[in-house]
Amino acid sequence: MDLGLQGKTALVCGASRGLGYACASALVAEGVDAVIVAREPRALDQAAHTLNEQGAGRVIAVAADIAAEEGRVRALAAARELRDAAADAGFDIVVTNAGGPPAGNFRDWSTEDWMRALNVNMLSAIELMRATIDGMIARGFGRIVNITSTAVKAPSSYLGLSNGARCGLTGFVAGVAREVAPHGVTINNLLPGTFDTARLAANFQAVADRDGVPVESIRDKRREASATRRFGTPEEFGAMCAFMCSVHAGYLNAQNILLDGGTYPGTF
Ligand code: NAP
């Protein structure tokens, strides 16, 4: 299927590895020119190199903290490097993403811990929408995909910072997505279940440390608890993200798409 994205531009955050990288890879394969962002420059440059080798779109790396105003300004300005200066240089697609907050016991979290989680996993995504959405409206096309978490539907207490911040973002999106819909702009959230990434390994380690058991036993238990008896692959996640950004997904708006192989035990 041609996703109709050839020549579009994308900002993909948290994209040096894991789910963000997979989203960038799937979009670039469709001919999207992308700015990819992560904090650590070496891994990011390597990711950009691999994506540029892969083709078909062009990739520029911007090493920046997307949760900081200064980092967002530099990432957003890089749209101009994808297009000649005369052209309208806004992004057609924005994938918001950053590392999840630490796991733990809510009794140990201070207001500062909460403010950090809210900034990284809620407010930075809202700021990116604020900076890009009016350009999308003016051009009559826009796709925003926020990578959130299965925690929005099925919270676990040790990921309380994630539950709170991501539900805040989800509530915000539910409102603004309806406002922009008449202009060809969609905003959806993509909720990862358990995908085999560095983040997943870190979460398993945190649970293993808390419970004093080997990390392999946590891993095996989670795999067995999933409906598919396996973890998702980042490629499966990227493919869904690319479809949500495609011209075929113009009627998909304000949704929370849970990608967990059917593990969430509800009818809806
Ligand atoms: P990951 O493997 O840890 O990758 C995170 C990526 O984001 C890296 O490229 C990282 O690079 C970048 N990043 C982190 N903080 C950033 C910041 N402030 N500014 C810019 N880039 C930043 O994580 P993942 O598994 O792909 O997960 C992505 C998101 O989905 C996370 O929020 C995670 O909590 C959520 N999630 C994942 C799963 C899962 O099963 N994997 C399940 C539920 C939710 P740098 O460190 O160099 O910045």
Give the three-class secondary structure for 60. Answer: strand
Residue 180 CA, ligand 1 centroid: distance in Å? 27
Measured from the Cβ of residue 112, the count of other Cβ atoms closer than 10 Å reads 8
Taken in order 154, 23, 48, 83, the sign of the CA dihedral is negative
Query: Shortest CA distance to 94 belongs to which of 180, 223, 187, 167?
Result: 187
Name residues whose C-beta falls within 8 Å of residue 167's C-beta, 6 or more positions apart in sequence: 152
What would the pLDDT profile of 138-197 be if each residue is shown by its tens digit? 999 999 999 999 999 999 888 999 999 999 999 999 999 999 999 999 999 999 999 999
Residue predicted with more confidence, 261 or 157 = 261
Which ligand 1 atom lies nearest to the CA of residue 101?
A: 34
DSSP state of 98: -
**What spacing in Å lies between the alpha carbon of 38 and ligand 1's midpoint?**
9
Q: Give the per-residue pLDDT at 87.
A: 61
Tell me what pLDDT residue 74 has.
97
- Segments of the chain assigned to CATH 3.40.50.720: 9-193+235-251
- Distance CA(8)–CA(20), nearest Å, equals 18
Tens digit of each residue's pLDDT (9 = 90 or more) over 197-227:
998 898 889 889 989 999 999 999 999 999 9
Confidence of residue 259 (pLDDT cuts 50, 70, 90): very high
What is the pLDDT, as a whole number, of residue 199?
84
**Structural fold of domain 9-193+235-251:** Rossmann fold (3.40.50)
The three-state secondary structure class of 191 is strand
pLDDT single digits (tens) 64-98:
999 999 999 999 999 999 886 556 679 999 999 99
The confidence band for 5, taking pLDDT boundaries of 50, 70 and 90, is very high
- Given the CA of residue 40, which atom of ligand 1 is nearest to it? 47
Residues 59, 96: Cα–Cα separation, whole Å: 17
Tokens of 265: 């035990």
Q: Which residues are within 8 A (CB) of 22 and not within 5 positions of it... i.e. 6 or more apart?
A: 234, 235, 237, 238, 241
Selection from 37, 78, 63, 237 nearest residue 150 by Cα? 237
- Give the pair of three-digit tokens for residue 27: 């979009």
Predicted model pTM: 0.97
Question: pLDDT digits over 15-64, tens only?
Answer: 999 999 999 999 999 999 999 999 999 999 999 999 999 989 999 999 99
> What is the distance in A from the centroid of ligand 1 to the CA of 194?
13
- The answer for residues whose C-beta is within 8 angstroms of residue 113's C-beta and 6 or more apart is 101, 161
Q: pLDDT by residue (tens digit) across 99-115?
A: 999 889 999 999 999 99
CA 98–ligand 1 middle distance (angstroms): 5
- Residues 49, 66: Cα–Cα separation, whole Å: 21
